[in-house]
Structure 1
């Protein structure tokens, strides 16, 4: 059988044409070639994409590292500023605490001076200065309390800024560790190493864009910078405030002490003058007492010649007859009795006047002694009690 006959039978028996077989073979070769090209292209593209991803990861690492350094610097600044502000908080607290003793002393002095005798309980310069001192100290304490509240609020804001920076740093550190682990991943690593233990947290895309990511850290750093500036300004205010309040309190303290010294000096002067007057009154009382004794003695002595003259007149009144005449002797005796009686009456009047003056002098003595006691009491309150209370007062500059 010829080959032609065999080929014809193959077509007839198999139902295939030679052209179909050839076409199938060519298609298969083309598919194989396309597959090889696709494999090479896919390998080239995947390597390029992986290299590009590695570059992006490295670039991201540098960006995160840069921001971390910036954030760490801001964190250091806010921590240092907070520590300094804490020292200012302590200074204000000590200044506020230091206001208690002077205020207590001032109030005690005011209460002690209420113990003065009512007649001496006047609103003098000391009283006015003590009231002014109380007002100054209470004003300073109120101002320091408000300043302390401002410091506490600024500390809260500083800590808030610090918290956000620390959280940002923590998040960036975590993200950087993840990116570093991603950079270490290779094609021939164990497949299980690439698998996430929590596949549900892998999102196809996050809603935060790079610009928002950068601005987020920028906002945190801006907040730190803003609070640091506010904190520095507040510290400058506190420095000025502590200096001014200490100066005001010291000035008022000196003014009150000067008023006390002047009041004590004036009281001593008045007391000394009254004591001098008292000495004169006592001396005059002694003189008046001697004068009264002299008058009483003189009256008693004058009674004797008066009695003699009266006895003579009485005896001569018993003369008989014509002998009972108004002769010169009778006239003299009558004149003597009259003059002696006038002298005795005048001395008795003088004695009464002397007794009246003595009573007035005694009243002056009692009044002077009472006023001296009043001044002594006021002097004791101002010079002893208040002075001892005020002596330990010392205005500190914290």
Structure 2
């Protein structure tokens, strides 16, 4: 009989060898798991280090790339901004040159008006004074030169207007490109300051997609360099156009000034020639009137002598006729008869000669009178022509440039009158 009652679980019990084997298996399993855990921890640590280093280096390189891109864009932005400033400056200078050319063009209206008035006034000359002289030819040449200058300046103004429009287009393109670069700089700078601690970072649905408008880096360089070349070409063309505007104004001014001097000289020469011809005609008229007075006196004396000779002829013929009535043998051809007949013949010849001379003298007097009348008419025409040419020369005094003296003259000769600051009235 047992004093203690024992109970056993109704399960199979292991033997000691089995227990030792199980313990050994657990030890081996634990060692394996620990080795696996060690290997895992080591590989995980290595992977973490490698990924951290790779991520940091990738971030570093990309930051450098973004910084380099920012620097490159800033350099191009500076270049584009400089080109934009130069274009603005060239546009202002070109507009000033265009305005100066337009003012010069407006100033051509006065020479055209004066030249036209001179031609119209000189066309009012009378009779033989209405000639195609050198003054008339030079006036027409001046009209042609002025019209040519006007056409030249109009063409230059048209070219300047077209160039200003092209510069406006170029300015718009540069400004648009500058705005794009400013926006790109803002984006790149914002992305450069972005890190994993920022609050506005999120996963994107398709971050590796390529936008449709994206171009390659070389294409980008080609485009900005092409725009730079276009802007520089426009600037060079604008500079040449500004120089051509300045040269055109100078040439037009010099050509008109030279032609104006020639025309004035021809007008003065024509006035001198007309005055000389008028003075010559006045002298001729005075001498002719003197000769007319002398011839008139001679005609009076010759008329008296003619009357005297006619009376003497009447006396001689009366004597001869009356002696023909002598009676008988008294009707003889004596010396008195011969003498009277000779006297009659001589008196008739003298009367004939005096009559011819009187007729010639009267014709000469009439010719002198007619010539004097013609000279008087021509003198009136020449005086009227002198008045016309003198009035034309006075009208052309408006074309004479203002005579500068002292500092103003030196500034114009040195062509620096536009470079001095304008004085303000206080």
Please state if 1:141 is matched with 2:141: no
Q: Distance in 2 between matches of 1:48 and 1:311?
A: 164
Is residue 127–residue 381 contact of structure 2 (8 Å, CA) maintained in 1? Answer: no
Q: Which residue of 2 aligns with 1:285?
A: 292
Aligned-residue offset at 1:173: 0.9
Q: Distance in 2 between matches of 1:4 and 1:357?
A: 188
Please state if 1:219 is matched with 2:226: yes
Q: Distance in 2 between matches of 1:300 and 1:167?
A: 117
Is residue 98–residue 245 contact of structure 2 (8 Å, CA) maintained in 1? Answer: no
Aligned-residue offset at 1:220: 2.0
Is residue 117–residue 374 contact of structure 1 (8 Å, CA) maintained in 2? Answer: yes
Alignment RMSD, CA only? 3.8
How high is the TM-score relative to the length of structure 2? 0.75
Q: Which residue of 2 aligns with 1:208?
A: 215
Q: Deviations over 1:165-211 (max 9, x none)?
A: 21111111111112222233343333xx4479xx9999644521222
Please state if 1:381 is matched with 2:383: no
Alignment partner of 1:382: what SS?
A: helix
Is residue 146–residue 256 contact of structure 2 (8 Å, CA) maintained in 1? Answer: yes
Please state if 1:229 is matched with 2:239: no
Q: Distance in 2 between matches of 1:122 and 1:262?
A: 14
Q: Distance in 2 between matches of 1:333 and 1:346?
A: 20
Instruction: Mark the CA change 1:103 to 1:366 in structure 2 (over 3 Å): closer, same or farther.
Output: same
Q: Which residue of 1 aligns with 2:76?
A: 67
Q: Which residue of 1 aligns with 2:270?
A: 263
Size of the aligned set, in residue pairs, is 385
Q: How does 1:233-252 map to 2 (within 5 A)?
A: 233-252=240-259
Q: Distance in 1 between matches of 2:401 and 2:38?
A: 102
Q: Which residue of 1 aligns with 2:123?
A: 114
Q: Which residue of 2 aligns with 1:357?
A: 364
Which of the residues 143, 167, 170 maps onto 2:179? Answer: 170
Alignment partner of 1:208: what SS?
A: coil
Q: Which residue of 2 aligns with 1:151?
A: 160
Q: Distance in 2 between matches of 1:336 and 1:63?
A: 138
Is residue 88–residue 238 contact of structure 1 (8 Å, CA) maintained in 2? Answer: yes
Q: Distance in 1 between matches of 2:340 and 2:140?
A: 81
Q: Which residue of 1 aligns with 2:114?
A: 105
Q: Distance in 2 between matches of 1:379 and 1:281?
A: 23
Identify the structure with the greater helix proportion.
Answer: 1
Q: How does 1:27-66 map to 2 (within 5 A)?
A: 46-66=55-75
Aligned-residue offset at 1:107: 3.0
Q: Which residue of 2 aligns with 1:15?
A: none
Q: Distance in 2 between matches of 1:359 and 1:200?
A: 123
Aligned-residue offset at 1:129: 2.1
Alignment partner of 2:12: what SS?
A: helix
Alignment partner of 2:399: what SS?
A: coil
Alignment partner of 1:274: what SS?
A: helix
Q: Return 215-224 or 180-189, whichever deviates more.
A: 180-189
Q: Which residue of 2 aligns with 1:393?
A: 399
